[in-house]
């Protein structure tokens, strides 16, 4: 892989990987580690991608698998973080409040909502990424929207109205 190809991959996918892994891990530092690991796996992998969408799907699937590995690692299960890091990958962006609320959702709801609304994937594509059925993903989306609406209403009426304008009822 030449330097220009490596730069293209980092420029194109680094934000996606960081946001997705932060959604899984809720830690900026672990998300950055996952991002580096995904790029290393990409460089070591000799897969010939059929299209840009195929490449993006590989990146997403690899990111999810890497996050799952971090979550089930002995380090993660035995170490207690003393300082909660309040950094947010999405700070300062238009949807920052909604993204904050999404991070409060249970994992499957959080991932489904994120991929559907922020990355624009269909329920069928998300099902393939998550290794779940399409029905399970639509259920995660439905329940996640309901829980998200409750979270936003609890944090102020303004956020709930913003949510309904952004995502519908």
| DSSP state letter for 16 | H
Each residue's pLDDT tens digit, 47-83: 888 999 999 999 999 999 999 998 887 565 544 443 3
Each residue's pLDDT tens digit, 95-118: 677 778 888 889 899 889 888 888
More confident residue, 105 or 85: 105
Contact 44, 69 (CB under 8 A): no
| DSSP state letter for 46 | -
CATH fold of the domain at 91-169: Arc Repressor Mutant, subunit A (1.10.10)
Predicted pLDDT of residue 56: 93
Query: What is the gyration radius of the CA atoms in the chain, in angstroms?
Result: 17
Each residue's pLDDT tens digit, 4-40: 888 999 999 999 999 999 988 888 889 999 999 999 9
**In the chain, domain spans:** 1-89, 91-169
Contact 16, 60 (CB under 8 A): yes
Predicted pLDDT of residue 43: 87
Contact 99, 113 (CB under 8 A): no
Token pair listed for 45: 């992998």
Each residue's pLDDT tens digit, 124-156: 989 998 899 999 999 999 999 999 888 888 765
Sign of CA dihedral 32, 100, 146, 16: negative
Contact 27, 73 (CB under 8 A): no
- Is 1-89 in CATH node 1.10.730? no
Contact 99, 117 (CB under 8 A): no
Contact 138, 74 (CB under 8 A): no
Separation between Cα atoms, residue 93 and residue 56, nearest integer Å: 23
Separation between Cα atoms, residue 10 and residue 14, nearest integer Å: 5
Token pair listed for 84: 């909660």
Sign of CA dihedral 37, 106, 90, 51: positive
Instruction: Identify the residue whose tokens are 């639509």.
Output: 138
């Amino acid at each position: 892989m030449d330097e220009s190809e490596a730069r293209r991959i980092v420029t194109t996918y680094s934000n996606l990987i960081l946001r997705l892994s932060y959604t899984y891990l809720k830690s900026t530092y672990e998300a950055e580690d996952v991002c580096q690991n995904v790029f290393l796996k990409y460089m070591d992998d000799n897969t010939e991608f059929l299209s840009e969408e195929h490449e993006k799907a590989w990146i997403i699937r690899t990111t999810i698998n890497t996050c799952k590995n971090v979550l089930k690692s002995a380090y993660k299960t035995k170490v207690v973080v003393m300082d909660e890091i309040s950094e947010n990958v999405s700070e300062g962006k238009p949807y920052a409040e909604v993204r904050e609320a999404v991070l409060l959702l249970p994992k499957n709801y959080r991932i489904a909502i994120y991929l559907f609304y922020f990355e624009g994937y269909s329920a069928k594509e998300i099902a393939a990424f998550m290794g779940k059925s399409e029905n399970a993903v639509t259920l995660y989306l439905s329940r996640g929207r309901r829980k998200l609406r409750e979270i936003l209403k609890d944090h102020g009426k303004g956020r709930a109205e913003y949510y309904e304008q952004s995502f519908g009822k």
